[in-house]
Structure 1
Amino acid sequence: MIQYSLKCAQDHHFDSWFQSASAFDKLHAAGMVTCAVCGSSEVEKELMAPRVNAGAEKPADTAPLSAPASPAEQALRELRTEIEKTSDYVGRDFAREARAMHEGDQPKRAIWGEARGDEARKLVEDGIPVAPLPFRPSRKSN
């Protein structure tokens, strides 16, 4: 495992673990490394010093990766928790499901999922209310 310090185009800084350096390169090239704050896939590695763990004690200033580092991260975490709790994840069927509900072919309910850019654009052009979320599904997270 390797930990990288990362920064997105919006200057958000965060750390993430990867199986290997080549695993990072592969995920990054596929656009699957995203900012923990804004969801941007414009992410780059920051200059970092190697960490040598000489003893079993953890440094006092090290926060767990799951702890939000800012009020913005806390707000995003709360938003994600609320969306996951109150809506159905439909995965890559999002565009089809949203269109079916809009056209009355399925009962309306709160959903979230994934759509390609052209699919999302077509939904908006057809007057179907959708909005991008500032995070990716857990299975695609760093």
Structure 2
Amino acid sequence: MIVFDLKCAAHGHVFEAWFGSSADYEDQQARGLVTCPYCGDAQVGKAVMAPAVVAKGNSRPEPAPAASTPVATTPDPAKMRALVEALAQAQQKALEGSTWVGRDFAAQARAMHYGEQDRASIHGEVAPAEAKALISEGVEVAPLPFPVVPPHAKN
């Protein structure tokens, strides 16, 4: 596995992404599968990364000087689980009363925006490029933090 810091061209969002290899990254990038998780922009490239330099086995790291500011620590797993659970519950509450429209999302969102269909709360699937097109038309859309299992796929 390899991790890259990536940056979207539209808004400069920097995010981390994992790939099986550099070749996997290049392949997914060429096929337009690498998109910004914040805005959906497909114009994504590698961001400047700090190199991971491993210390020699016979050298000891210098002790860190006493800092006046707190040092960042590894997040508490229990707190992270609670945060993810809270986000999942917030998404579930936001989707109450919303109708799953699957891949018909873009067409229905446009129809509602242009007054061809009554407004309603819907959610579904849309390609990043199509989501960007909807936003540029003024259609109000937002990505969900977690994937949604389509109703027909639930056990």
Name the TM-score, length of structure 2 as normaliser: 0.48
Q: Verify the 8 A CA contact 1:35 1:43 in the aligned structure 2.
A: yes
Alpha-carbon separation, structure 2, partners of 1:38 and 1:103? 26
- What amino acid does structure 2 have at the position aligned with 1:81? Q
> 1:97 deviation in Å?
4.7
Alpha-carbon separation, structure 1, partners of 2:3 and 2:22? 9
Partner of 1:2: 2
> 1:15 deviation in Å?
0.8
- More moved, 129-138 vs 108-117: 129-138
Q: Verify the 8 A CA contact 1:3 1:17 in the aligned structure 2.
A: yes
Partner of 2:105: 94
Deviations 1:65-107 (A, max 9, x none): xx7xxxxxxxxx79x836863334433122455559x547xxx
> 1:20 deviation in Å?
2.0
Identity %: 35
Selected match of 2:95 from 73, 85, 91: 85
Residue 5 to residue 133, structure 1, CA distance change in 2 (3 Å): same
Alpha-carbon separation, structure 1, partners of 2:144 and 2:42? 11
Partner of 1:18: 19
Q: Verify the 8 A CA contact 1:2 1:20 in the aligned structure 2.
A: yes
Alpha-carbon separation, structure 1, partners of 2:15 and 2:24? 18
Q: Verify the 8 A CA contact 2:91 2:144 in the aligned structure 1.
A: no
Alpha-carbon separation, structure 2, partners of 1:135 and 1:31? 20
Bigger relative contact order (CA 8 A; separation at least 6) = 1
Partner SS for 1:15: strand
Alpha-carbon separation, structure 1, partners of 2:100 and 2:53? 38
5+ residue gaps in structure 2? Answer: 57-71, 81-86, 149-155
Q: Verify the 8 A CA contact 1:6 1:16 in the aligned structure 2.
A: yes
Partner SS for 2:28: helix
> 1:3 deviation in Å?
0.5
Count of aligned residue pairs for this structure pair = 111
Please say which structure displays the higher CA radius of gyration: 2
- What amino acid does structure 2 have at the position aligned with 1:90? V
Alpha-carbon separation, structure 1, partners of 2:6 and 2:73? 19
Residue 4 to residue 34, structure 1, CA distance change in 2 (3 Å): same
Deviations 1:95-126 (A, max 9, x none): 455559x547xxx7421232674xx77xx7xx
Partner of 2:122: 111
- What amino acid does structure 2 have at the position aligned with 1:18? F
Partner SS for 2:16: strand
Partner SS for 1:24: helix
5+ residue gaps in structure 1? Answer: 55-59, 68-76
> 1:44 deviation in Å?
0.7
